[in-house]
Structure 1
Amino acid sequence: MREEAVMNMSAAMKNKISSNVDELMAKYDKGSRYRVLSGAQGKIVSALLFCFTVFQLYYGIRGGIDAQIARSIHLAFGLTAVFFLYPTSSKMDKYSLHPLDCILGILAGACCLYVVVFFEDIVMRQGLINGMDMIVGGIAVLLVLEAARRMIGLPMVVISLGFILYALLGRSIPGALGHRGVSLEGLVQHLFYTTEGIMGLPIQVSSTFIFIFLLFGAYLEKTGMGEFFIDLANSVAGSSPGGPAKVAVISSACMGTLSGSSVANVVGTGSFTIPMMKRLGYKGEFAGAVEATASTGGQLMPPIMGAAAFLLAEITGTPYSKVILAAAIPAVLYYLGVFIGVHFEAKKLGLKGLPKEEIPKFSTVMKTRGQLIIPIFVVIGLLSSGWSPIYAALGAVASTIVCAAIKKETRLSFMDIIQGMVAGAKSALTVIAACACAGIITGVVTKTGLGLKVGSILVGIANGNLILTLFFTMITSLILGIGVPTTANYVITSTIAAPAILLITDAAGVPVVPVLAAHLFVFYFGIIADVTPPVCLAAVAAAGVAKSEPMETGMQATRLAIGAFLIPYMFVISPDLIMINPGPTVISSIITAIIGICCVSIGLTGFFKAKMNVIERILFIIAGLLTLKPGYKTDLLGLVLIAVVYYLQTKKLKNNK
């Protein structure tokens, strides 16, 4: 009876809170500000999204379509749906289609299908475009920018326009960044009629791996997987000191499998966890920071790390199964740092866990919805067995529907399956807009060689020093990541910042940093920009839920996310941590990394066995940094400092008694 009461109370609380989720998402995430259409308009848009998914499933299963044609069809569906679903401004009517948006949607689809219809003719002209090509291509570029503005916001559009101007005005730019310039005709041809620009690698990955995994995520959400993660985390950690904060950490890490958006993760889980944390005694700023940090890290957590991870695999030429293997240890270290920070903050404040009557029993949670976790293991198993990500995702979609059917409470009806196809296509629109707009940036970079120019400048400033180059690359990635979604964020940092790291070579001219390590480095810092002031989108969203001060929330989140600022340096210097040719020292590297992350988190929190003074905190942080640095001498020195602080803390504890 108690278990039923807990589950019913939990469900009632979720129903009450979920009514605010859509409002919060619309406020902090542009991708959630879509029209709610009914009647004939709603049916037309739903049919469009359904057909989009049918095409993607056909292409994923059968293939056999030229890559550029498939990308054009993918973009035609995506851009048309964007203009139909997303109004020009938030002030416009969100319950009916505006005639202008209908025209723009049809025009965007027609521009993309122009490539499909005249594909052979365009190919035969070998890069030469005629007047009609120029008009269609120019309109398409402008519509891509407008779609990105509606879905993502102005920062991405401003960056893209800056790159376009850089391409056109190259002759007028002085110094090392100058180039011979690109004509308007040549730029349009390169951006729209080749696989180097809008139809380039980002859209290729969006049209293959990303779409199917987003469809998988849509079905997981349809079965109530998000609620299952929260209940599961509650049953495991809810009663421990600072329980709700630990629930936020665990559930947000799991929610990374459902969403590639930090803001979506924050609002989705934060609507439940932040009020619980505040009720327990955490300040609003800290509660928001915990959720922002944990939700942002969801994109770093295998097996599904958000859309950008698939781009990383393609750009580096690394099988996705190796990418998730490489990301596993750093992700665990990141969440360990957050978890330790949360635990000792609770100890410092004397906070307890949730009352037992509010915590669902683990066995009950597993008995009710435990079968929903099977598809996650299916994905891991298929990827580990050498299946391509597309077929692994298709298998996961099928297993989700089958596993949901085991229990009546989670079973999907025929209409649920159809709605899941529509929801999957809708969830892909933000990624499509971001990838298409990012294609403009990569197109300019490949046309002008900007990536190598910036890389050479950064290496020159660092005078060839690896640590300084990494530091400057980190700053560049954080700046480029401001206000830009993760997918586009990684495309920018991988083309502008990553080359700098790879320019550091040994005497034989071989890069001293493995390609995968360099790209994971910029991947991490591009993502962590979501909690780094001044913009810190995830922290601002969390502050909105917590009703706290945004910048203070961002500063607290940065402190909790300290692991994300240290771990990338660790795996660049010691690739053992990302399992690149792991040697005999891999176990000791992992152990000392765990000790180091824990020490830094504890030192920043200011509590261990008792409250720490300034000297103890500094010693503990130094000890953590020493053990993070590879080498037995620094490890031993770090352990000695840990022992000193442990002795001082033990003595202080005895004196207090």
Structure 2
Amino acid sequence: MVLSPRHARLLLGAIALGLAAVQFIPVFMGRALYEISLLSAHVGATTAIVYLMVGQSGRRKEGEGVPVLDLVCALLALACAVYFFRQGGRVAERIEGVDPVYTSDYVFGIVLILLLVEAARRIAGIVLAALAVLFIVYVFAGPYLPGPLAHSGMSLKRFIDLQVLSDQGIFGTPISASANMVFYFVIVGAFLERSGAGRLFVDLAYCATGRAWGGAAKAGVVSSGLFGTVSGSAVANVLMSGVVTIPLMRRTGFKANFAGAVEATASTGGQLAPPVMGAAAFILADIVGVSYGTVAYAAIVPAALFYLSLYVLVDSHARRHGLAPNKDLPLAESWRGFRERWHVLLPLVLMVYLLTSQYSLMRVGAVTMVAIIVVSWLRPVTRLGLKDIYAALVSGARSAAEVAVPSAVAGIIVGALVHTGMALHLERWLLDVAGSSLFVSLLGAMFLTLVFGMGMPTAAAYLVAAILVGPALQNLGVPPLEAHLFIFYFSVLSMVTPPVALAAYAAAGVSGGSLWTTGLISFGLAIPGFIIPFAFVSDPSLLLQGDALDIVRTVGTAVVGVCATAAASGGFALGRLSTPARAALFAGGVLLIVPDNASEIAGLVLLVLVMGWQLRFARGQAGAAGGGAAKPDACSETSTS
């Protein structure tokens, strides 16, 4: 027995509208809900959405029905939402560990936990689900375990009390951030997409870079970066903007694997770029206990360095392979598209203003959504009708589910870690492995974060790493914001890190290239991004903290260093770079990025030596050509790779 596709779409739409109504009641009616009422509605609705849109073996295709078992799971999730929604007043007044746990609490609590674990497996992969099961078992098996793994254990009553009747489990900090912050900006992204912002960003980027060296790839970098700031998902960004940018790159001479890699890396970086960044950034702000504006402000320079490196690398690659500018490239259509849609940017300007004016994120997201609808009516091409508004709400709810379910499961893991003492054991283990070396600790944190991020959405990868790795970094003296931004960056970069580089694999599907080769090239393009987090942990000037002169000096040398590493990776700087020159230039760039006087001087010396050699070689070529005796050599930009 199967629920028909039409009825499944209607049910999903009804759930999305119901969720939107619950989420927007506090904003527009001034009627605050009990916290657990809001969070339970958020968790139950998004869990139900997962069962309707994702089957046991993958996402359902268009026109595919929903098996009766999945329908039952969706309805049970909604039943759990209704039950805990009605417990809001009771939970707000009860004393944890003292007041009784009812039989209905056991029933609905156990059902919700089971539904969440399976939903997490479907939407975020086996790693997160397996971790949740492991820690649930660990909670009850503690007295029977050997050595440092042992703990006093926990009764079922205490477990249910913590997980579903307090703010230390499912309804803890991760899901609170998802419901109170992430949801509203996911909806904003869905409305922007529906109003034509994605096409606007492509047109804007193509007009700005289309006639430059490697113009189509540069347009892909700029447009994917712009749209990535509001989409919140690297894979979704690839699938939305890549269908336009990748064919443009292919038509102008870029090979399929490289074109897909550029799009994947640019789309991934969008989650690092203010003003919106990815969903994980909102969760980060809530965990660290700072405003989202503080996080976005600190991320400005690292995000700019990431995109600068990618832009310069594309330019260097284009020059090395002779992908010269096409001055006759027709841009009329792109200019026309830009003129038709430029007003869609106005709500983004309003959003930035509201963010910097200390309004609540809930209100900022809601007002921005209304502004998008109003502004869209200025021109017919962007006008949002009732069907478009409905489609945007459904699309936003589907995207919110990809954050909410992993966040709720992360809450289960957090509760288990804290109340069994395992969090302290993990912290001590990482500190013992690293000793007193901050650099070794950072390497270990990077590796663990990338491993946790394999096959998982960024928000889920960040949550797991923040739980398991964050405390150890802070114990070594890394301030909370720097520690969590470090983890956040590598959670994002896991999307282009083999062996499971989800963004790269999505781009390969669009370009027709090899999954593995596209993933490896994406990893190579993102390498400067792997250096930046180590730099801002060493010197917070890169996060715009500290003395103004130090900030200017550190940012200036980092800009030069990033350009040097990117040019070395692309293989061109005043001419084609030989292998030794590329290695020396890359090393010089890394030394310049590292905020230390001695390393900066060494990096500058290497940079001057390489560029001096390249300039001399270029002049030698020109002189030989003038004498009529020159032949193409290894540094000629027109020679083949």
Fold conserved (TM > 0.5)?
yes
The equivalent residue for 2:555 is 590
CA contact (8 A) 1:53 1:424 kept: no
Q: What is the CA-CA distance between 1:133 and the residue it aligns to?
A: 2.1
The 2-side partners of 1:91 and 1:370 are apart by 35
Q: AA paired with 1:581?
A: G
Q: What is the CA-CA distance between 1:59 and the residue it aligns to?
A: 2.5
Q: 2:367 aligns with which of 363, 374, 395?
A: 395
The gaps in structure 1 that reach 5 residues or longer are: 1-34, 505-510
Q: What is the CA-CA distance between 1:338 and the residue it aligns to?
A: 0.9
The equivalent residue for 1:7 is none
Q: 2:74 aligns with which of 105, 126, 136?
A: 105
1:615–1:423 CA distance, 2 compared to 1 (3 A): closer
Q: What is the CA-CA distance between 1:361 and the residue it aligns to?
A: 6.6
Q: 2:413 aligns with which of 429, 433, 441?
A: 441
The equivalent residue for 2:488 is 523
Q: What is the CA-CA distance between 1:148 and the residue it aligns to?
A: 1.8
Q: Deviations over 1:359-416 (max 9, x none)?
A: 2477534421110111111111111112121111122112211221111221222333
Q: 2:590 aligns with which of 615, 619, 625?
A: 625
Partner of 1:77, secondary structure, is helix
Partner of 1:198, secondary structure, is coil
Q: Deviations over 1:135-158 (max 9, x none)?
A: 221111001112222323323212
The 1-side partners of 2:463 and 2:384 are apart by 36
The gaps in structure 2 that reach 5 residues or longer are: 623-641
The 1-side partners of 2:522 and 2:212 are apart by 22
Residue 67 (1) aligns with residue 62 (2): no
The equivalent residue for 2:18 is 51
- 582-591 or 226-235, larger mean C-alpha shift: 582-591
1:600–1:308 CA distance, 2 compared to 1 (3 A): same
The 1-side partners of 2:182 and 2:128 are apart by 20
The 2-side partners of 1:115 and 1:426 are apart by 22
1:75–1:560 CA distance, 2 compared to 1 (3 A): same
The equivalent residue for 1:534 is 499
Q: AA paired with 2:483?
A: A
Matches within 5 A, 1:255-270: 255-270=227-242
The 1-side partners of 2:574 and 2:378 are apart by 47
Q: What is the CA-CA distance between 1:276 and the residue it aligns to?
A: 1.9
Residue 84 (1) aligns with residue 56 (2): no
CA contact (8 A) 1:627 1:634 kept: yes
Matches within 5 A, 1:61-460: 61=28, 62-90=30-58, 94-119=63-88, 124=94, 126-127=96-97, 128-353=100-325, 356-360=328-332, 364-460=336-432
The 2-side partners of 1:91 and 1:532 are apart by 23
The equivalent residue for 1:555 is 520
The 1-side partners of 2:49 and 2:253 are apart by 45
Q: What is the CA-CA distance between 1:333 and the residue it aligns to?
A: 0.4
Matches within 5 A, 1:451-470: 451-470=423-442
1:451–1:360 CA distance, 2 compared to 1 (3 A): farther
Q: What is the CA-CA distance between 1:462 and the residue it aligns to?
A: 1.4
Q: AA paired with 2:265?
A: T
Q: AA paired with 1:552?
A: T
The 2-side partners of 1:165 and 1:447 are apart by 13
The 1-side partners of 2:174 and 2:74 are apart by 21
Q: Deviations over 1:40-67 (max 9, x none)?
A: 5543432332122122111234252111
Q: AA paired with 2:540?
A: P
Partner of 2:25, secondary structure, is helix
Partner of 2:299, secondary structure, is helix
1:409–1:393 CA distance, 2 compared to 1 (3 A): same
Q: AA paired with 2:116?
A: V
Q: What is the CA-CA distance between 1:423 and the residue it aligns to?
A: 2.8
CA contact (8 A) 2:568 2:586 kept: yes
CA contact (8 A) 1:52 1:74 kept: yes
Percent identity over the alignment?
A: 34
- 244-253 or 110-119, larger mean C-alpha shift: 110-119
TM-score norm. by structure 2 comes to: 0.91
1:126–1:425 CA distance, 2 compared to 1 (3 A): same
Q: Deviations over 1:212-253 (max 9, x none)?
A: 111111111111111111111111111111111111111111
CA contact (8 A) 2:257 2:508 kept: yes
Q: AA paired with 2:208?
A: V
CA contact (8 A) 2:565 2:586 kept: yes
Give the aligned length. Answer: 615
The 1-side partners of 2:407 and 2:433 are apart by 31
Q: What is the CA-CA distance between 1:121 and the residue it aligns to?
A: 5.2
Q: AA paired with 1:375?
A: P
The 1-side partners of 2:4 and 2:381 are apart by 27
The 2-side partners of 1:201 and 1:124 are apart by 19
1:618–1:84 CA distance, 2 compared to 1 (3 A): closer
CA contact (8 A) 2:58 2:122 kept: no
Partner of 1:428, secondary structure, is helix
The 1-side partners of 2:21 and 2:85 are apart by 18
Q: AA paired with 2:135?
A: F
The equivalent residue for 2:634 is none
Q: AA paired with 1:146?
A: E
Q: What is the CA-CA distance between 1:178 and the residue it aligns to?
A: 3.9
Q: AA paired with 2:514?
A: E
Partner of 2:380, secondary structure, is coil
Q: What is the CA-CA distance between 1:482 and the residue it aligns to?
A: 1.0
Q: What is the CA-CA distance between 1:424 and the residue it aligns to?
A: 2.4
The 2-side partners of 1:360 and 1:148 are apart by 46
TM-score norm. by structure 1 comes to: 0.89
